[in-house]
Amino acid sequence: MDPSKFNDKKEWRKFGFGFSLILAGIGTIQWLRGHSLGFYFYGFAIVFCLMTFVFPMAVKPWMIFFTYVGRGIGWFTTRLILCLVFYLLITPLAIGFKLFGKKSMAMRPDPSLPTYWIRREKEFKDKTSFENQY
């Protein structure tokens, strides 16, 4: 997030009302499950919404805090998901290819070749071949 948004009153209000909705949503879930905590979440949502409406600058520290917490969580989960994809998907595929002798590349390194360029047999002289490539 752009730090200049921390000084925008409109952004403070958007965050405050959004956070109030999230608190009210959590309160609704708690209430539907029969927990008494739901009313506390409703109370915090009302207080936060009124604070946003009357004095939006009071929301700024909360916005900064949750922005950086969100960035930290995003940083961690991105690396976690990438590690899981690599170690649970890519690595087993590579091991399977090695075990069954599958070659993923059409050519192998050959030091005796002057170039690895593959010559095409068809020459493209017609203009329509460039317009209709597929």
So what's the pLDDT on residue 84?
96
The verdict on residue 30 lying in a domain is: yes
85 vs 107: which has the higher pLDDT: 85
CB 82 within 8 A of CB 91: no
Stated as kind and residue range, the H or E segment containing 75 is: helix 60-85
Note whether residue 35 is domain-resident: yes
Q: How many domains does the chain have?
A: 1
Residue range 110-124, pLDDT digits in tens: 888 888 887 777 766
CA distance 62 to 104: 51
Predicted local distance difference test score (pLDDT) of residue 118: 79
- The rounded distance, in Å, linking the Cα atoms of 16 and 64 is 12
Does pLDDT of 78 surpass 70?
yes
Residue 63 counted as domain residue: yes
Task: For residue 6, name the pLDDT band (cuts at 50, 70, 90).
Answer: confident
